């Protein structure tokens, strides 16, 4: 570890491979409390591979550089939340990437939940409003359509629809290689054996552990492009091309799509956690921590919690996703 203008700087040791950013910060700062380690991340005072690391739960790899700064790094002003639908029971929003859905701690204020509440207050003339209620969550780096409840009844009814698998949820992703259409039906566990969430495999054990949860993802190949003239990083073999995939969820487990695509050897472009089963070339723009996993919640449909009405919503592609898709389509033959 070294010091200077940074409070601490170090290269992640092999024994910390796979740990969270917050865990590494604690080790650098002599057992700093978990709450303070997470706060340093949220304040923009931690850098991971040269980029500001605001997600304390992000995973690191051996050889990564972590730095803790004396003062927060400058942060760009985030865009306001776009409201897709508002009524007395529900609010449907278009979540930008890079924003956590809910606070990790009571004092955290920059979340989708807080910004949606502020946008709703502006929409309704600045009057006092009760807190919004979380029904579903999107990962920090996932963009797209998301519903929040305004009443306890709506929260309960939408939660029941999710548990019955009655909510229509479709994601678009851009993945490496030619992805085959398939249904992935696995039991997800917190640790598949390499300190990563993943699918349980028997290995001599007949029954899955109690923590295992069934996860079902229906994957459809929309289009594949060779992309030979895109910039690939240190390719030792021919580029595998890129696939636009449509993923319909039957269940909604944490990181479900990312895990299933990664275990199928077709991780999302920008994936940095569930990509250990992939050894092929990667796009240069998405190495060394650049970019995000290319995943977008494109469609959401559910029954209105208090009216006999089916609602369906779509979220436009964000600029980074649309730009990569445009470059894919312009790069060569399918």
Enumerate the active-site residues.
139
Q: Tell me how far apart the alpha carbons of residues 179 and 192 are, in angstroms, rounded to a whole number.
A: 23
How many whole angstroms separate alpha carbon 39 and alpha carbon 22? 9
> Nearest CA to 142 among 16, 258, 286?
258
Question: Burial level of 109, CB count in 10 A (0-12/13-18/19+)?
Answer: exposed
128: left (phi over 0), alpha (psi -120 to 50) or beta: beta
Contacts of 99 (CB under 8 A, 6+ apart): 78, 110, 111, 112, 115, 140
CA–centroid distance for 55 within its chain: 11
Helix axes 21-28, 34-42, angle to 10 degrees: 110
Return the SS3 of 207: coil
């Amino acid at each position: 570890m070294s010091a200077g203008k940074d409070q601490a700087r170090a290269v992640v040791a092999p024994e910390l491979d796979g740990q969270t950013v917050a865990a590494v910060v604690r080790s650098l700062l002599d057992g700093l409390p978990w709450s303070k380690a997470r706060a340093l991340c949220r304040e923009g005072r931690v850098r991971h591979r040269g980029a500001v690391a605001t997600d304390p739960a992000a995973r690191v790899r051996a050889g990564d550089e972590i730095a803790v700064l004396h003062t927060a790094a400058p942060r760009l002003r985030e865009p306001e939340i776009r409201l897709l639908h508002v009524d007395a029971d529900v609010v449907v929003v278009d979540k930008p990437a890079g924003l956590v859905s809910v606070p990790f701690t009571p004092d955290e204020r920059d979340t989708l939940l807080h910004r949606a509440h502020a946008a709703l207050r502006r929409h309704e003339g600045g009057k006092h409003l009760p807190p919004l209620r979380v029904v579903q969550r999107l990962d920090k780096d996932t963009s797209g359509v998301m519903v929040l409840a305004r009443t306890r009844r709506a929260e309960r009814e939408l939660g029941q629809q999710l548990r019955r698998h009655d909510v229509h949820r479709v994601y678009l992703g851009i993945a490496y290689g030619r992805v085959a259409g398939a249904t992935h039906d696995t039991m997800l566990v917190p640790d598949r054996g390499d300190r990563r969430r993943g699918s349980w495999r028997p290995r001599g054990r007949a029954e899955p552990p109690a923590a295992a949860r069934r996860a079902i993802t229906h994957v459809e190949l929309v289009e594949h492009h060779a992309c030979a003239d895109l910039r690939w990083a240190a390719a030792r073999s021919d580029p595998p091309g890129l696939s636009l995939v449509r993923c319909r969820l039957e269940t909604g487990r944490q990181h479900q799509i990312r895990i299933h695509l990664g275990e199928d050897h077709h991780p999302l472009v920008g994936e940095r956690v569930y990509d250990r089963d992939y050894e092929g070339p990667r796009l240069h723009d998405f190495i060394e921590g650049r970019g995000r996993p290319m995943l977008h919640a494109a469609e959401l449909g559910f029954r209105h919690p208090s009216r006999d009405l089916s609602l369906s919503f779509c979220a436009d592609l964000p600029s980074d996703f649309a730009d990569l898709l445009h470059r894919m389509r312009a790069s060569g033959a399918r």
